């Protein structure tokens, strides 16, 4: 992931994304917030910070205790200041505080582990009737000495007490628009608001507050249906330290006007919003997650340059049955691809929705040299206002993005999104949405802030001083808080019910509590065809389980990270095999660090970063162990002989200081060789393979890398166009690089995208010295149609084998242990650059070396094997020369080839 307002942050924080940094070792965990020297040295009377945290109606946690008398002050109108060393500026009310013996209770420390070192103060029982009123104004915690001198004062964070006071009732509330008996009700949770009114259809309507839940609502006539509306919220805003009146859209919006300026009161169940055949939509057979083969693509990438599409860049492009893009997707579906994973398609904050407002590059990119910096300069100049962004910058979570619709105004986007789902389903593909609930595009009083302008300081995760954390690149959300967690669940249920989405991929899932993701699973499982029109239990869930930031190592809650999600049926991306295949890591200073599929030791390049031949061999054999663990589905308890001859479990194999194996069963880990983040696979291999490697050999290594993911136990994902050798001209972070660098060419005659110029400077300039010589040789590194089509055909053959041979989709760890082995691992016969896997009646040989290799498996002497019939009659001519000698049990496989043999 990445998103628009974050060039600098991407390089640092988002280095940990869907395909980036290893789970622990490289991500430095942040320590829990406890009193520190820095805190002691800070201005003790700084009201711009909120160092005290009101965690329940009875308890304040504070990392300072420098006085003998403590109070919680509040002013409904705000205005509290420090003047002359004391509190002044406004009439105040007081809640008396008493230090709690022993500090926070065990239960409180368990709920707020990052506050375990804080002192605890109890709200005087005589003042607890003031709690609700206090929460609607400015709050200041004070500590005074015995003589009354103000020793410490700070603002107060209120997330915990809001959940305690309102959470139970609010969690049961129906928010957003509701349509019953010809009437329309609009409801918003705003417990700290002093007043909320509804601006609808040019009228202002008073809203009424429910004391128990903090929900404000208004009910009106059926004529409200389809009307534009906003909430007008009068509330204390800590970010600007004053009472403000915000006109803000509905966090539970189901439809929007152009540019997300106003919400629309729309009933998604209305017949007018249902395309023909929607009610009776027949979906492809549900594929369990452990068997899923997923194609990741971006709506605009898919069709923006497809001259055969009638709707380039739009949802409706997926209804163009005769377009080159849809023909290719159907070929993949016939070969075994089961899901299309769409990069974010909810309402995003950085793309102008009207085509007339979108900028285009003011130059002719094809006119420049393939290694020129002119293309990137031109594209970058218009990037902030063009039609392109990956979309990891959510504005409204439950409304389709308007720029992909033929008309962003009103409900056209709703209908066309549904037609897209129909088009994909009708082509044999189920649909996955990439969802981003871990951050928002803005916070505080910013124009594109929604949640934080309704309940300031609640929906965003705050640090020890009360500032919004941004470890994800943008304003983090606090999904550990009741109502942010509820928003995630409610939003996903809407996408599943009303848009018939078949799966969800969570961006930076490790920033969610495990409990939140399990609540999603529970809510989806409750959906039934009879009641809801969808089978919720068939919906697949997976995400990025990276461990970093202020939540790292379960600092605030049990995270939805790789190790924690094992056994839940919700998969996490596995970076283990990815790095072993490619070599090094995504952020190496030298992109020439090689791996198993890029020639390490067997076909060395000129990079000194690879080390001596002995060092390369040792690293390659360790990479082979990582890939073997990946082939098992990253099972923690799978036992095998590693390359050193030791009997180990998957969890014993080291991955940068973390266990390589972390899965409890197949389906816990998702394999991939590339995704939208970092260089495309072709570009990574361009950096890593020796400069003189022919394009035909590069293509063979591409197939080998893709196959190593596809032939693993558990689900696998491939970026759209990777089977066509897709290049982004070496761009490692193309989130805002426009159509020029991102487009997919479905027609091989248009090339694969290599040589479109030096990639954008912001994220790539440090690699330009490595990129320029490659791009200057673009004519020799750009594959022809025969190579592109051959690569795609070879990959589809392997995909067909993977999805028709049950041995690749085993249901339990025990079955994997019984059926899968690496007969040459850890023996004198283990060949650097070659992995031989026995799987039931199959033998798979992955030969990444540039020479033909013979793999003799003594235990198989006398057993009949032959090249799998799919490959024997398939697209790859080279693999057809693979042989097996029954008398010796020897498999002979050509260079840079994946061969699957079947017992006959």
Task: Write down the number of H helices and E strands in the chain.
Answer: 26, 42
Strands 59-62 and 540-543: unpaired
- Residue 217 sits at φ, ψ, to 5 deg, of -145, 160
Those residues whose C-beta lies under 8 Å from the C-beta of residue 813, and which sit 6 or more positions away, are 635, 637, 638, 663, 664, 665, 666
Decide: helix, strand or coil at residue 92: coil
Those residues whose C-beta lies under 8 Å from the C-beta of residue 129, and which sit 6 or more positions away, are none
CA dihedral angle for residue 711, residue 707, residue 839, residue 562, rounded to 10 degrees: -40
The DSSP letter of residue 165 is I
- Residue 257 sits at φ, ψ, to 5 deg, of -80, 170
**Cα(249)–Cα(256) distance, integer angstroms:** 9
CA dihedral angle for residue 22, residue 24, residue 27, residue 30, rounded to 10 degrees: 160
Catalytic residue status for 544: yes
HSE toward the beta carbon, residue 252, CA cutoff 13 A? 25
Q: How far is CA 629 from CA 82, 563, 636, in A?
A: 60, 15, 8
DSSP string, 118-155: SEEEEEPGGGGGGHHHHTTSEEEEEEE-TT--EEEEEE
Instruction: Check if the beta carbon of residue 262 is closer than 8 Å to that of residue 683.
Output: no
**Cα(870)–Cα(896) distance, integer angstroms:** 18
The strand order across the sheet containing 820-821 reads 820-821, 834-839, 842-847, 897-903, 865-867
The DSSP letter of residue 457 is T
**Cα(13)–Cα(21) distance, integer angstroms:** 10
**Cα(434)–Cα(348) distance, integer angstroms:** 12
Catalytic residue status for 296: no
Closest CA to 152 of 239, 67, 257: 67
Those residues whose C-beta lies under 8 Å from the C-beta of residue 68, and which sit 6 or more positions away, are 144, 145, 146
Point out the catalytic residue in the list 56, 544, 625, 677: 544
Instruction: Check if the beta carbon of residue 574 is closer than 8 Å to that of residue 669.
Output: yes
Strands 658-659 and 654-655: antiparallel
Closest CA to 390 of 726, 718, 727, 736: 736
**Cα(377)–Cα(372) distance, integer angstroms:** 10
Decide: helix, strand or coil at residue 236: strand
Closest CA to 602 of 623, 584, 620, 625: 620
User: By CB neighbour count within 10 A (0-12 exposed, 13-18 middle, 19+ buried), where does 754 fall?
Assistant: buried
- Find the helix or strand (DSSP H, E) in which 469 lies: none
**Cα(543)–Cα(432) distance, integer angstroms:** 11
**Cα(720)–Cα(329) distance, integer angstroms:** 9
Instruction: Check if the beta carbon of residue 380 is closer than 8 Å to that of residue 762.
Output: yes
Point out the catalytic residue in the list 163, 320, 480, 507: 507
How many C-beta neighbours within 10 Å does residue 151 have?
Answer: 18
Closest CA to 77 of 92, 88, 94, 57: 92
CA dihedral angle for residue 215, residue 218, residue 224, residue 227, rounded to 10 degrees: -50
Q: What angle do CA 700, 702, 706 make, to 5 degrees?
A: 120
What's the residue count for the chain?
904
Q: What are the tokens at 870?
A: 């799919």
Q: Which residues participate in catalysis according to the annotation?
A: 507, 544
């Amino acid at each position: 992931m990445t998103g628009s307002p974050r060039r600098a942050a991407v390089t640092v924080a988002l280095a940990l994304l869907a395909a980036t940094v290893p789970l622990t070792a490289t991500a430095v965990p942040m320590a829990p917030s406890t009193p520190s020297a820095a805190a002691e040295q800070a201005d003790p009377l700084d009201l711009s910070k909120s160092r005290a945290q009101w965690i329940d109606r009875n308890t304040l946690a504070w990392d300072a205790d420098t006085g003998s008398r403590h109070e919680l002050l509040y002013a409904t109108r705000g205005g509290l200041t420090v003047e002359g060393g004391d509190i002044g500026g406004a009439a105040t009310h007081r809640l008396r505080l008493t230090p709690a013996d022993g500090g926070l209770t065990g239960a409180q420390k368990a709920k707020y582990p990052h506050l375990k070192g804080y002192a605890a103060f109890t709200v005087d029982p005589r003042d607890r009737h003031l709690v609700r009123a206090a929460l609607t104004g400015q709050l200041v915690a004070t500590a005074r000495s015995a003589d009354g001198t103000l020793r410490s004062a700070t603002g107060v964070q209120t997330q915990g007490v809001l959940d305690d006071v309102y959470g139970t009732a609010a969690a049961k509330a129906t928010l957003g628009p509701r349509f019953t008996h010809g009437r329309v009700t609009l409801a918003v949770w705003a417990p700290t608001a002093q007043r909320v009114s509804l601006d609808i259809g040019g009228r202002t309507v008073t809203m009424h507050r429910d004391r128990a839940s903090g929900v404000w609502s208004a009910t009106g006539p059926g004529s409200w249906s389809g009307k534009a509306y906003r909430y007008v919220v009068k509330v204390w805003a800590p970010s600007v330290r004053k009472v403000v009146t915000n006109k803000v859209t509905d966090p539970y919006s189901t439809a929007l006007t152009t540019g997300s300026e106003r919400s629309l009161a729309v009933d998604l169940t209305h017949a007018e919003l249902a395309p023909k055949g929607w009610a009776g939509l027949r979906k492809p057979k549900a594929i369990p997650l452990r068997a899923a083969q997923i194609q990741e693509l971006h709506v605009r990438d898919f069709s923006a340059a497809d001259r055969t599409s009638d709707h380039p860049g739009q949802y409706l492009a997926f209804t163009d049955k005769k377009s080159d893009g849809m023909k290719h997707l159907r070929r993949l579906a016939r070969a075994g691809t089961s899901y299309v994973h769409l990069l974010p398609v909810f309402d995003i904050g950085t793309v102008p929705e009207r085509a007339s407002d979108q900028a285009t590059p003011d130059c002719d990119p094809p006119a420049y040299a393939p290694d020129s910096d002119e293309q990137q300069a031109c594209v970058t100049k218009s990037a902030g206002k063009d039609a392109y962004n990956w979309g990891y910058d959510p504005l409204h979570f439950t409304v389709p993005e308007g720029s992909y619709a033929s008309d962003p105004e009103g409900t056209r986007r709703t209908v066309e999104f549904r037609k897209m789902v129909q088009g994909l389903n009708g082509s044999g593909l189920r649909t996955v949405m990439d969802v981003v609930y871990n951050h928002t595009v803005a916070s505080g009083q910013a124009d594109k802030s929604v949640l934080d302008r309704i309940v300031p300081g609640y929906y965003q995760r705050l640090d020890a001083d009360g500032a919004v954390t941004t470890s994800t690149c943008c304003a983090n959300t606090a999904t550990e808080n009741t109502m942010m967690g509820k928003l995630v669940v409610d939003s996903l249920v809407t996408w599943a019910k009303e848009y018939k989405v078949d799966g969800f991929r969570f961006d930076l899932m490790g920033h969610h509590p495990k409990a939140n993701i399990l609540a999603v699973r529970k809510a989806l499982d409750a959906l039934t065809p009879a009641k809801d029109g969808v089978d919720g239990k068939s919906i697949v869930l997976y995400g990025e389980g990276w461990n970093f930031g202020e939540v790292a190592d379960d600092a605030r809650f049990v995270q939805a990270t790789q190790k924690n999600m094992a056994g839940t049926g919700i998969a996490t991306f596995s970076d283990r095999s990815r790095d072993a295949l490619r070599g090094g890591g995504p952020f190496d200073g030298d992109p020439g660090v090689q791996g198993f599929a890029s020639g390490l030791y067997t076909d060395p390049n000129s990079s000194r970063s690879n080390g001596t031949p002995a060092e390369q061999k040792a690293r390659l054999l360790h990479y082979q162990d990582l890939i073997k663990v990946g082939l098992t589905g990253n099972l923690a308890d799978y036992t095998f002989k590693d390359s050193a001859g030791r009997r180990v479990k998957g969890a014993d194999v080291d991955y940068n200081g973390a266990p390589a194996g972390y899965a409890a069963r197949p389906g816990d880990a998702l394999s991939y060789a590339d995704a939208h983040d970092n260089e495309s696979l072709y570009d990574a291999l361009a950096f890593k393979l020796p400069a003189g490697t022919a394009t035909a050999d590069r293509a063979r290594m591409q197939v080998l890398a893709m196959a190593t993911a596809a032939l693993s136990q558990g689900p696998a994902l491939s970026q759209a166009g990777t089977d066509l050798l897709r290049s982004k001209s070496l761009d490692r972070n193309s989130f805002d690089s426009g159509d020029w660098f991102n487009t997919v060419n479905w027609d091989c005659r248009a090339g694969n995208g290599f040589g479109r110029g030096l990639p954008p400077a912001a994220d790539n300039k440090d690699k330009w010295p490595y990129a320029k010589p490659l791009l200057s040789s673009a004519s020799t590194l750009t594959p022809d149609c025969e190579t592109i089509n051959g690569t795609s055909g070879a990959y589809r053959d392997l995909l067909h084998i993977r999805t028709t041979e049950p041995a690749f989709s085993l249901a339990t760890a025990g079955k994997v242990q019984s059926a899968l082995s690496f007969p040459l691992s850890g023996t004198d016969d283990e060949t650097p650059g070659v992995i031989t896997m026995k799987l039931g009646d199959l033998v798979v040989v992955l030969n990444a070396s540039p020479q033909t290799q013979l793999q003799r498996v003594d235990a198989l002497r006398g057993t009949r094997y032959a090249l799998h019939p799919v490959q024997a009659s398939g697209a790859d001519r080279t693999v057809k020369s693979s042989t097996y000698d029954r008398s010796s049990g020897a498999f002979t496989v050509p260079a840079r080839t994946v061969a699957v043999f079947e017992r006959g």
